[in-house]
Amino acid sequence: MNRPTNRPTGHDVILALNAGSSSLKFVVFAAQDGDSALAEGLVDRIGSDAASIRLRDGAGADLPVAEGRPADHAAALQLALDSLSAALPDARVVAVGHRVVHGGTTFRGPVIVDEPVMAQIEALRPFAPLHQPHNIAGIRAAMAAFPGVPQIACFDTAFHRTHPWVNDTFALPSSFYDEGVRRYGFHGLSYDYITSELHRIAPLIAAGRVVIAHLGNGASMCAVQNGRSVASTMGFTALDGLPMGTRSGQLDPGVVLYLMDQRGMTTAEVRRLLYEKSGLLGLSGGLSNDMRTLESAATPEAQQAIDYFVFRIQRELGAMAAAMGGIDALVFCGGIGENSRLIRARVCERTEWMGLEIDHGRNDRNETIISSDVSRGHVMVIPTNEGLVIARAARDLLNLGGSTT
Ligand code: AMP
């Protein structure tokens, strides 16, 4: 892909990056407007011999990719750019947007990255030691690849900074709150997208009390009242709330004390247990963290994992609705929320008391509105689009023009 000159062209693009521990997701959007991606891809297993890259065009068709076994995020970005050069030969990157997991209490929206901002993002490392370093590596790699091109940081915590204090704190001595031990909430880019999309397609629903269930490999729920987040199932880290692919979700903190004091587990061992070996993987007896595999497996353990996942969603749904004094709509998104008819149907088996009833035909057809005609509240399925939220932030902050809705 081309580096920028001062000459505006019709091929100006925004590159949106999501750098994980061993992966780099990238999406390319036209700089000025348009909600459809021009291309998107994933470099996976960075740093291993099995590293791979996948690239698709805007319609989802696979495209040829460059060869490479990237050892780090900088090499992964180069591999992505080499592959994109063939797919979009005239594209000129005018901004790079980044998903950054933690914005602390400082960042309440996206920002243009400069060295002082970078220092603040670096200072938040201890709050997200498993994510923030990789996000930082992604920004540094993009700064080196595109010198002088604006870098935009978009924070997963920012959407939740509207929480009332009771949903922002733990019942610890208040000095801990002051030093930043708070319920931050995550998946904010996804919730931001769903809220804007709901506002576009159903403004009356968007003005009400909405629970969004982002159910993917990571999973959380958010109570959104009149477009603002008031509560979320995730807290200080992305470990709280719902069980996930490999993460435990909510846990009595006494369990951690027991594991360390009585079982002699080290911090690293407990971290590995809670982040990598628990959730659906742990409950299914090590079978899989992948919902598709669990749904097709006939083992009692797979069934139990699904039962627990569904039950905790139902429980948190009640909690999120209570935070708003009721519920007008439930929106499913994320890989499981968008695709699993079974999970959506099972969650809604126990929601009639709150006025939510699904139509099984609509659910089976994956329609946008899957509630029945007699349901008091709406149940919806909206595919999320975190990359587009990043591109819109870049357009807004840099005044790139065009529609941002
Ligand atoms: P994400 O992290 O949002 O990409 O979501 C990944 C999760 O979505 C995995 O657990 C997948 O098994 C699950 N998923 C994707 N497609 C389906 C499907 N058709 N049915 C059930 N689960 C699915």
Question: What is the residue-averaged pLDDT of the chain?
Answer: 95
Q: 74 near 144, Cβ under 8 Å?
A: yes
| Rounded-to-integer distance, Cα 211 and Cα 114, Å | 35
**Positive or negative: CA dihedral 336, 338, 340, 345:** positive
Q: 227 near 195, Cβ under 8 Å?
A: yes
**CA 249 to chain centroid:** 15
Specify the pLDDT at position 143. 96
Residue 293 C-alpha to ligand 1 middle, in angstroms? 9
In this structure, the dihedral spanned by the alpha carbons of residues 104, 231, 336 and 375, taken in order and rounded to 10 degrees, is -160
Specify the pLDDT at position 3. 60
Residue 216 C-alpha to ligand 1 middle, in angstroms? 6
Specify the pLDDT at position 7. 44
Residue 59 C-alpha to ligand 1 middle, in angstroms? 20
**Pocket lined around ligand 1, Cβ cut-off 6 Å:** 216-217, 245, 290-292, 295, 334-336, 339-340
pLDDT tens across 321-332, in order?
999 999 999 999
Residue 285 CB neighbour total at 10 angstroms: 13
Mutate to test the pocket of ligand 1, among 99, 193, 212, 292 (most ligand atoms within 8 A of CB): 292
| Rounded-to-integer distance, Cα 340 and Cα 306, Å | 12
SS3 231: strand
Ligand 1 atom having least distance to the Cα of 343 = 21
- DSSP for 44-106, written as a single string: ESTTSTT-EEEEEETTS-B--------SSHHHHHHHHHHHHHHHSTT-EEEEEEEEES--TTT
| Rounded-to-integer distance, Cα 36 and Cα 38, Å | 6
pLDDT tens across 163-191, in order?
999 999 999 999 999 999 999 999 999 99
**CA separation, residue 3 to residues 74, 95, 388 (Å):** 16, 10, 22
Specify the pLDDT at position 8. 44
Ligand 1 atom having least distance to the Cα of 289 = 10
| Rounded-to-integer distance, Cα 327 and Cα 209, Å | 5
Specify the pLDDT at position 402. 58
Residue 57 C-alpha to ligand 1 middle, in angstroms? 21
- Residue nearest (by alpha carbon) to ligand 1 atom 17: 339
- Residue nearest (by alpha carbon) to ligand 1 atom 4: 335
Specify the pLDDT at position 21. 83
Residue 292 C-alpha to ligand 1 middle, in angstroms? 6
- Residue nearest (by alpha carbon) to ligand 1 atom 8: 335
Amino acid found at 16? A
Ligand 1 atom having least distance to the Cα of 215 = 3
pLDDT tens across 228-285, in order?
999 999 999 999 999 999 999 999 999 999 999 999 999 999 999 999 999 999 999 9
Domains of the chain: 12-155 (3.30.420.40), 204-381 (3.30.420.40)
Question: Mean pLDDT, to the nearest integer, of 123-143?
Answer: 92
Catalytic residues: 156
